[in-house]
Amino acid sequence: MCKKTVPLLFCLFVLFVSNVSAWNIKIIDSSGIDATDMKSLVSTITSDCDTDQQKMESMWAFITRNPFYHWCEAREGQEADSEFGLVYDPIKAFNVYGTIICYQVADLLANMALEAGIPSRTRSFPYKHKVMEAYFDGGWHLFDAQSDCQAIYYKADGKTIASLDEVDADPQYYLIDQPNPSQPFFQFEKFAGNCWPWEVRQWVKENWYEHFPTEQLERYLPFDQQGHRMLLSLRRGEKLVRYWDNERKWYCTPVMQKTWNHDLTQQWVALGPHDPRNALNTYANGKLIYNPDWNASSENFFDGLHEGSNYRLVDGKVCPAEAGELSQVSFRVSSPYLLAGHPNRLGVDGDSEGGAIFRAVFHRQDESSSAKVSVSVDEGLSWIPVWRDSLTGTHPVKLDLTNHVEGRYSYILRVELNAASGKKIWFSGMELENSLFYSPILLPTVGEGENQFSVELSEAGEQLCLEPDFSSLEALEPFCYSIDNLRFTGKLPERLTPEDEKWGSLVAEVDPVGGSLISELAVYGSFGIDPQAEGEDSIRVFFAEDAPEKWIPAWEYSTKALDKSWDSGYSEEGRIKLAEHWRLDKSIEVRPTKPCNRMYVKFMIKRKARVSLNNFRVYAYYQPERPSEMDFGDIVITHAWTEDGEARIHTENLASSSHAYTLSAADSLVVNQSITVEMKNIVAQ
C-alpha cells in the first residue's frame, strides 16, 4: 500500500506479522490447463506446439471451445463507467467473469499472443466489430474469437491463415464458400436461427466485410493489461468452497445496468451473466469462510492476524492489554475471485446483501467502554465506519458488509476496543463469510472415468493490488509517494501531463503490512499518446528497492519509435500509423534483487506533442516475514459430484507441497457440485 507507515504494536511493544499457512494452493485437473497466471496459462495451452501458428490456433481454441460466452462487457472497479473499467486482463476475464464481447476478446487473445512472444495487433470495423491479427511466417493472420462469430479463415490449401485484408477483399469465398471451415466456425448458427442476426455469416459478410473497404479498418496496439493472479492462501480455520451453480449473487455496476437494460438484445440482463440459449453458460458462486478457533489454540488467532496493537488474547477472547488506550486488531480478506452479493435493485449503489457477513460475540461491561468495527478497501489508507456497540453485557453481533466491499478482491476488517479503568470489554468467536462470483469453466473438474489431479503449494505469499483513485488530485495523492511537474485535468485523454519539453514524474510506494517481503511486482500503466504527432513523446518506468533512490530502469517507450517497433511485423506499402487510438497500455513484471520490505515505482513522461499518465495499477506479491509451521495433513480437498443423480464425494489430505491423486467417476451423467479446500484449525491436545 502507498502510505507512510507507523508500526502497530503487538501487546504494546512487539510488532506481529500476519502468517499465511496454506500457501498459494494450485489444483490442476486432467486438462492440464493452469490458468492461475499469464505465464502458466499460455505455457500450458501451447505446451505441445512447435510453431507460432500452432500456438495461436491452440490459444484461439482455448477461448472458442470453452463456454466463454457473449454478454455485457466485464466492468469493475472505481471507474466502471469509463473505458478504464473494462477488463482486459485474461486471468480475470477467464477465471472470474467468463463473459466476453468482441472488443475485449480481441485484446485478450492479442495479450496472450504477446505473452507467447508473437507480435499482435487488433483491428476494427468502425463501431461494428473488433478482431485480432498475429504476425508469424512473414505476414499477418486473422483470428476472431468472439463467441457468436468465431472463425479462423483458412486459404485454399487448408493450412495457411488469411489476414483481415485478404478476407475483406473476398468475403464470399472466406465466409460463404469456405472449403476449410475452422472448428468452431460461426458456432451459434447451430441454434437454427435462435441467435442475433450478426451471428450468421451472410449478415457479417454484408454488414462488415462488404460494408467497409480495407483502408477503413483501423489498426491498434493491443491493450497489454496483466497482473492479477489466482493466488489462494488459506489461514488456520479458513476454507474455500467453489460451487458449479449460482445463488444469484453477482456484481452489477450501475453503468452496466444503465447501458444494457434498455437494449432489446439484452433484456435478460436482470437475470445475471449467462447465455439465454445455453443454461450451462453462466456464472457460479462460492464462499470463502474464515472461522478460526481462538479458544483451541492461540496459533489459530495469530495465523490470521493482519495487524494489532495493545491487545491480549485470553481464553479465546480479544481484550485490551491496557485500559484507557485504544486496542485494535485487523484481519485481511483476500480472494482471487470477486466479492459479490444479491443485487436487489440493479444499478443502485448500496442495495446488495449477503455477500460479506461478519459475526462475533461482544461483551461490554458498561457504557464507559466502547467497541466499533470498520473496513478498508484501499489496503488501510482510509477506513469506513460500519458499527458501534450500543448494548452492554454479552451479545452476538452480525454485520452485513456487502455494500462496503462488493466488487473488490480484498478488504481489511478492523475491530477497536477502548476499556475504561477497571471495566471489561472483549470480543470472541469471529467468523467472516464472503460470497464469491466467478466463472465455473476453469474450476478443477471431475469428469467421466479416471481423473488425475495435481496439487502444488509454493512459498508463502499473498497479492496486494494498489489501485489509485483518479477522480481528483486530492483522491489520487494518498496513493502516491510523490507527484512532480504533472498537471492534473481529470479528463481523458490527458489526466496527468507535464509541461512541454519537460519531464514529469509520479512515484508510488508499495508497502505490505509489517515485515512482509515483496518478491515480485506487476506494474500496469495506461498512457495517452498522439499516434499522428510529429514530436517525440517519451515514457519511462523505473523501480527502486527499500528507498526511493538508486532507480532501476524497467521499461521505456517513445512515440517516435511507434512505427519502427513494428517493422518486423508490418511491411505493407503505403502503411499508416499502427495505433490509431490514443491509448497505450503496458504491463511490466519487476523482480527485486532480493525480497525487500517495500518497493517504489516511478512513472516518468516527457511531452512534445501529447503524452499523459491516465491510470495505473501495481500488483505486489509478498511473503510474510515469519510464516508459521504447517502440517500438510491439515490441508483437506473435497470433491462433490453426482453420478446419475446419486451423490458422490472424495476427500484428499495432502502429504506434501507437491501432491497428486486419482479419483474415478462414472462413464456418463457426471455433474460437478463443489470443490472445497480447507485449512484446519489447530486443536489443543
Q: Which of 277-286, 497-506, 617-626 has the highest mean pLDDT?
A: 497-506
Longest dimension (CA), the chain: 89
* Helix and strand totals (H; E) in the chain: 11, 41
Q: Given CA atoms 99, 104, 105, 110 in this order, what sign does their dihedral have?
A: negative
Q: 602's torsion region: left (phi>0), alpha (psi -120 to 50) or beta? A: beta
Per-residue pLDDT band at 267 (split at 50, 70, 90): low
Cell of 673: 457440485
Tell me the three cell numbers of residue 257: 445496468
CA atoms within 13 A on the CB side of 579: 24
Residue 559 has pLDDT above 80, yes or no: no
Stretch 659-677: mean pLDDT, rounded? 96
Question: Given this model, what pLDDT does residue 74 score?
Answer: 86
C-alpha distances out from residue 370 to 317, 386, 424, Å:
16, 14, 10
Cβ-contact 462, 334 below 8 angstroms:
yes
Q: Is the pLDDT of residue 99 over 60?
A: yes
Q: Can you read off the three cell numbers belonging to residue 355?
A: 455477500
Sheet with 120-125, strands from edge to edge, namely: 151-152, 139-144, 129-136, 120-125, 218-220
Which residue, among 153, 435, 150, has the nearest Cα to 283 in the 3D structure?
A: 435
How far apart, in whole angstroms, are the C-alpha atoms of residue 229 and residue 35?
Answer: 9
Whether the ω angle into residue 493 lies within 30 degrees of 0, i.e. cis, is: yes
What's the N-to-C CA distance of the chain in angstroms? 39
The pLDDT mean for the chain works out to 88
All three cell numbers of 127, joined, read 463501431
Name which residue leads in pLDDT, 22 or 538.
538
Which conformational region is residue 349 in: left (phi greater than 0), alpha (psi within -120 to 50 degrees), or beta? beta
Which 8-state DSSP code applies to residue 496?
A: E
Grid cell, residue 76, equals 469493475
Average pLDDT, integer, range 246-264 = 77
Residue 674 reports pLDDT greater than 90: yes
Higher pLDDT, 269 or 631: 631
Higher-confidence position of 605 and 633: 605
Contacts of residue 173, Cβ cutoff 8 Å, sequence gap at least 6: none
C-alpha cell read off for 682: 489447530
Task: Please state, in angstroms and rounded to a whole number, the distance separating the CA atoms of residues 152 and 132.
Answer: 11
DSSP β-ladder status, 670-679 and 129-136: unpaired
Domains identified in the chain and CATH numbers = 37-220 (3.10.620), 462-623 (2.60.120.260)
Check: CB of residue 572 under 8 Å from CB of residue 472. Answer: no
Summarize pLDDT for 513-533 with one digit per residue, the tens: 777 899 999 999 999 988 777
Nearest to 525 by CA among 600, 603, 589: 603
CA distances from 68 to 41, 102, 132, 273, 524 (A): 16, 12, 17, 11, 25
Alpha-carbon distance of 110 to 503, in angstroms, equals 31
- Pair 153, 174: CB distance under 8 Å: yes
Percentage of residues of the chain with pLDDT beyond 70: 90
The pLDDT, as a whole number, for residue 268 is: 65
**Alpha carbon of 527 to those of 88, 531, 589: distances in Å?**
15, 12, 17
Q: How confident is the model at residue 355 (pLDDT cuts 50, 70, 90)?
A: very high
Contact predicate 369/417, CB 8 Å? yes
pLDDT at 314 over 60: yes
| Most confident region among 492-496, 558-562, 590-594 by mean pLDDT | 590-594
Beta strands in 335-424 (DSSP E): 338-339, 342-343, 352-353, 356-364, 370-376, 384-388, 393-400, 410-418
User: How far apart are alpha carbons 151 and 148 in whole angstroms?
Assistant: 9
Residue 534: the pLDDT is: 75
The cell for 587 is 504491463
Torsion sign, CA atoms 293, 294, 296, 300: positive
pLDDT score at 194: 63
- Amino acid (one-letter) located at 611: V
CA distance 468 to 477: 9
- pLDDT tens per residue across span 162-215: 999 999 999 999 999 999 999 999 987 776 556 677 778 999 999 999 999 988
Q: What pTM value is reported for the model?
A: 0.92
pLDDT for 540: 96
Q: Decide the pairing of beta strands 99-100 and 69-70.
A: parallel
Q: What SS3 state is found at 468?
A: coil
CA atoms within a 13 Å half-sphere pointing along the CA-CB vector of 537: 26
DSSP percent split of the chain into helix, strand, coil, nearest 5: 20, 40, 45
CA 332, CA 327: separation in Å to the nearest integer? 17
Question: pLDDT, tens digit, for every residue of 46-76?
Answer: 999 999 999 999 999 999 999 898 777 888 8
The predicted pLDDT at position 629 comes to 66
The amino acid occupying position 579 is A
Whether the per-residue pLDDT at 575 is higher than 80: the answer is no
Q: What is the mean pLDDT of residues 392-418?
A: 97
Q: What is the pLDDT of residue 147?
A: 86
- Please tell me the number of Cα atoms within 13 Å of 408 on its side-chain side: 25
The amino acid occupying position 45 is I
- CA distance linking residue 601 with residue 468, whole number of Å: 13
